């Protein structure tokens, strides 16, 4: 076997294992495929101009990734333990009737915040997907009430199908209650998702605070930080 093929081959194999046997690490797998292709080009391509072009494009891409990740990582800690009248808990997947790990992490952050701030109202926002037996809002309501939060402090918004709709519909609920979402409102979401959620809120002319939900597994967290770079790029270009 050509020794030059070993490293890119190993990277491709690891990428395939991650892609098809593990959940939540797809972007790490794609990064491995890209690295394998880059190494192969550098080792086997005989045209210098192609190598230079690939190197320049890769360097520009990495530079952009670093620049776009700075505000994403910077927002990840949330806004501290400020007092909010409302928190909007952004939905995540429900597997049948069972909340996904990401959703449990968000609900745990919401519960902890509400226990520390007994006057805060939670709007749990998320509709029902085709593979979900209940809406994300219903799953969150059940989990929070089972974990010590009085149901009178929870408002379910069960129509939203995207983060933008989560925010738009929740802001409308706050306005219908006679309050202004600009005054005292925060989103509760995964730490990697905070920056984009705030950008979306700004597109609706609302400035929100944030409460960060910590991702338990580091590889999953890294994967979603990478994914958010693409999500934020799309948001900045098209929204």
**Average pLDDT over the chain, rounded to an integer:** 95
pLDDT in tens, 67-101: 999 999 999 999 978 999 999 999 999 999 899 99
CATH number reported for the structural domain that contains residue 138 in this entry: 3.40.50.620
Return the percentage of the chain with pLDDT > 90, whole number.
Answer: 92
User: How many domains in the chain?
Assistant: 1
Looking at beta carbons, which pairs linking 212-217 to residues 24 or more positions away fall under 8 Å?
212/76, 212/77, 212/78, 212/109, 213/102, 213/105, 213/106, 213/108, 213/109, 213/110, 213/188, 213/189, 214/105, 214/109, 215/102, 215/105, 215/190, 215/191, 216/101, 216/105, 217/24, 217/101
pLDDT in tens, 28-60: 999 999 999 999 999 999 999 999 999 999 999
Instruction: Tell me whether residue 98 is in a domain.
Output: yes
Instruction: Tell me whether residue 164 is in a domain.
Output: yes
**Which pLDDT score is estimated for 131?**
84
* Domain of 204, in residue numbers: 86-216
Instruction: Tell me whether residue 159 is in a domain.
Output: yes
Instruction: Please check whether residue 186 is in contact with residue 82, taking contact to mean a CB–CB distance below 8 angstroms.
Output: yes
Instruction: Tell me whether residue 23 is in a domain.
Output: no
Instruction: Tell me whether residue 58 is in a domain.
Output: no
Instruction: Tell me whether residue 131 is in a domain.
Output: yes
pLDDT in tens, 160-177: 999 999 999 999 999 999
**pLDDT band with cut points at 50, 70 and 90 for residue 1:** low
């Amino acid at each position: 076997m050509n020794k030059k093929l070993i490293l890119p081959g190993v990277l491709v194999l690891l990428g395939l294992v991650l892609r098809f046997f593990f959940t939540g690490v797809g972007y790490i797998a794609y990064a491995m495929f890209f690295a394998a292709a880059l190494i192969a080009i550098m080792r086997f391509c005989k045209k210098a101009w192609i190598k230079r072009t690939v190197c320049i494009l890769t360097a520009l891409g990495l530079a952009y990734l670093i620049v776009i990740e700075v505000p994403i990582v910077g927002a990840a800690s949330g806004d501290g333990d400020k007092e909010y009248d409302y928190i909007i808990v952004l939905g995540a997947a429900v597997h049948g009737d069972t909340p996904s790990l990401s959703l449990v992490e968000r609900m745990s952050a919401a519960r902890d915040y509400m226990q520390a701030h007994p006057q805060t109202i939670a709007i749990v926002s998320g509709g029902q997907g085709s593979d979900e037996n209940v809406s994300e809002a219903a799953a969150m309501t059940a989990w929070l009430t089972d974990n010590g939060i009085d149901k009178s402090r929870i408002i379910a918004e069960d129509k939203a199908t995207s983060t933008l709709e989560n925010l738009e519909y929740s802001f409308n609920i706050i306005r219908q209650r006679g309050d202004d979402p600009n005054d005292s409102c925060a989103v509760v979401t995964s730490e990697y998702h905070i920056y984009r959620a705030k950008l979306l809120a700004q597109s609706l002319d609302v400035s929100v605070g944030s409460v960060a939900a910590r991702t338990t597994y580091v590889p999953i967290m890294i994967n979603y930080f990478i994914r958010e770079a693409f999500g934020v790029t799309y948001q900045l270009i098209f929204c």
